[in-house]
Structure 1
Amino acid sequence: MKIVINALSARLGGGQTYLKNLLAHLPEYPDLSILIYAPDSLCLPDSHQIRRGSTNWPTDNPILRTLWEKFVLPRILVKENAQILFCPGGIITSCVPSGCKTVTMFRNMIPFDPVALARVPLGLQKLRNVILKQIMLRSMATADLTIFISDYARSIIKDLTHIRNPVTIPHGINNIFRTHSQKLLRPSWLPIGEYLLYVSRFDVYKHQLEVVEGFAAMPQVLSSGYKLLLVGELDEVLVRRVKDLARQKGLEDQILVVGPIDYGDLPAAYHHAKVNLFASSCENCPNILLEALGAGRPVLSSDVMPMPEFGANAVSYFSPTDPKSICEALIQVLENENISKALARAAARRSEEFDWISTSRATWGEIIGLVK
């Protein structure tokens, strides 16, 4: 069985994490052969079943990538006698040969979230999201299989178009994040003393500013015992606003903008945190929330769907747009040791319901089932 994967758009952490884990757990299928087109930054497993393809012109630019998908990829599918074209980025623009099945995924929620889209400034980025919405809907409507990573996302699309063959398969948790029953060394880069951790790239719908305001609103006698760590890719404008607010509140030494760190450093950061926060208001499958659960520390999360779908009753929720709500959630867990311990135990239990082996098995089963 020959499968071609077009993953040229997988340039960010979430998309690459998904592919690494999916390819690390291939099915026991004797004649399986996978040809994958992906950015050089994606490290592929060492497997005789996997080949990396190379494009004959640069595909970093979305327009050039679309031209390659439109005019070159179809010829590759014919040459390879491919039985399946898998496009995990959510867009299928290639005309596939007869007998070749198509598989896509729904990952990018922003074009379908009017609140998040309203926060995007007028310009090319907003126009790009409007166009993406139409292309993604058409791709899902015509695909032989559409993989959703949350029931919430599936319900959104169901109201917009007919999907021929939908299936929901949530992401898993990498085993390196299952530290709730371990004792990890504390990295030297972490601050001395207790800290609260929020991991996410800076963006308007990630609500780092509201988290800082909620932290600053806590009674000084409580907040003085903690630092707030903001870890993730930086946005210059938002970082400046966060630092200005911290300065206004006299909290420059307590609110630390760490910026991006190595993926391998995240498990220890979650593990040693007093509380792990997740304040996003626009997600499809919140990988960071799942990874935080694995640490077995109390988790406070945005109450916007699909976060409750994944956190269930193992998480304490707040409104991500309301600093007062964030403040109250922090106070409750920091002042009540019983609540803190209960949340920690619940997070550890909940994390066991998500693993990449099950995700990969279900995914490959659905994909190969199209041909078998």
Structure 2
Amino acid sequence: MKIVINALSARLGGGQTYLINLFQFVPAYEDLEILVFAPKSLKLPSHPKVRRVEPAWPTENPLVRALWEKWVLPGILKLEQADVLFCPGGVVSTRPPSTCKVATMFRNMIPFDMRVRKTVPFGLQRLRNWLLNRIMLKSMSEADLTIFISNYARSVIESLVSVKKPITIPHGIGSLFKTHDKVTARPDFLPSNQYILYVSRFDVYKHHYEVVDAYGKLPQALREKFTLVLVGETHSSEADRVKALISTLGLGEQVVLLGAIPYHDLPALYHHAYLNLFASSCENCPNIMLEALASGRPMICSNVMPMPEFGADAALYFSPFDSLDILRVLSEALSHPDVLKDLSLAAIRQSGKYDWESTSRRTWGELLALTGRL
């Protein structure tokens, strides 16, 4: 059995996290071979059944990558006698030999969210989202297997196109983030008092602006007791807009922007937060939310799907579009310690449902089933 994985689009973030965890749990079938095309930045675990290849073409360029996938990869699949081509990036630009099945995955919700697409200025990025919408729909309609990472995302796509074999397999939570029963040192760079934590890159649909506006309306006593800590790269126009609001509201001493924090340092931040917050309105599987829940700390969260699908009763929900609604829920959470205690217990229970080993083994099982040799 030979599976070829085209991971060339996994250049950063969640795409790499997914693949790293997938390769931690490779099945122990004697005749299994896995050929992986991956960028240099993707550090895969070594495994005797996995052969990693970096194309000679400069596939960092999306256009060059698309040409390589269309004209070169089909010949490799034929030469390698591949049984399955897996494209976890959601785009299939390759016509494989008739004997090779195709699997893909839906991870990027932005091309299918018109509210977000309308916030993107006219130009290449808006055109890219328009093209991705069409290419991804075509890829999923033609694939022999499409893996969805939330039931919500699956419902969106199935309302637009017929999918041959859909399966929902949510992402897992790394053991690194399951700190609710561990002693975790508090980083020195955190504020000395209690804090509300929001981890996310700055973008309009992440609603940092509304969060800061809501925080600024809290009574002064609560703002002095609880610092708002924002973690995420701050070199963007949206980050500048949020910084301007912080200045206008006079919150420079009460809102801390830590910038980008290394991935392995995030568990301690979640663990020591008085309250974790997640305000995004466009997600497929909200990894940051799941990782925050795994800390066992209470959570308040966007009420836009799929967040309630993953949070269930382990969070208090608000409309991320309405700073007054965020204020209402934030005030309730900060004023009722008994509610937060219940949320902490629910967060531990809910996060226990998401595990990378289970996610990976289910994924490999579906891919291997496509070979028809099991």
Q: How does 1:186-225 map to 2 (within 5 A)?
A: 186-225=186-225
User: What is the match of residue 95 of structure 1?
Assistant: 95
In 2, the alpha carbon distance for the partners of 1:367 and 1:232 equals: 35
User: After TM superposition, where is structure 1 displaced by more than 4 Å over at least 4 residues in a row?
Assistant: none
Deviations 1:114-137 (A, max 9, x none): 111111111110111101111101
Check the 8 A contact 1:120/1:126 in 2, yes or no: yes
1:268 positional shift: 0.3
Return the letter of the residue paired with 2:63: I
1:35 positional shift: 1.1
User: What is the match of residue 358 of structure 1?
Assistant: 358
| Segment of structure 1 superposing worse, 72-81 or 235-244 | 235-244
User: What is the match of residue 260 of structure 1?
Assistant: 260
Check the 8 A contact 2:39/2:54 in 1, yes or no: no
**Structure 2: runs of 5 or more not aligned:** none
Aligned length: 372
1:64 and 2:68 equivalent?
no
Check the 8 A contact 2:91/2:135 in 1, yes or no: yes
1:236 positional shift: 2.4
| Segment of structure 1 superposing worse, 261-270 or 237-246 | 237-246
1:106 and 2:116 equivalent?
no
User: What is the match of residue 297 of structure 1?
Assistant: 297
Deviations 1:184-224 (A, max 9, x none): 01111222111111111111111111111111111111111
Check the 8 A contact 1:203/1:235 in 2, yes or no: no
In 2, the alpha carbon distance for the partners of 1:214 and 1:41 equals: 39
User: What is the match of residue 237 of structure 1?
Assistant: 237
In 2, the alpha carbon distance for the partners of 1:251 and 1:218 equals: 11
In 2, the alpha carbon distance for the partners of 1:260 and 1:11 equals: 17
User: What is the match of residue 347 of structure 1?
Assistant: 347
Q: How does 1:1-372 map to 2 (within 5 A)?
A: 1-371=1-371, 372=373
1:237 positional shift: 1.4
In 2, the alpha carbon distance for the partners of 1:64 and 1:159 equals: 32
In 2, the alpha carbon distance for the partners of 1:142 and 1:241 equals: 42
In 2, the alpha carbon distance for the partners of 1:347 and 1:121 equals: 38
1:258 positional shift: 1.1
Check the 8 A contact 2:111/2:130 in 1, yes or no: yes
Return the letter of the residue paired with 1:260: A
1:234 positional shift: 2.9
Return the letter of the residue paired with 1:222: L
Deviations 1:241-276 (A, max 9, x none): 211111111110111111111110010000000111
1:233 positional shift: 2.6
1:12 positional shift: 2.5
In 1, the alpha carbon distance for the partners of 2:226 and 2:270 equals: 15
Return the letter of the residue paired with 1:223: R
Give secondary structure in 2 for the equivalent of 1:313. coil
Q: Percent identity?
A: 57
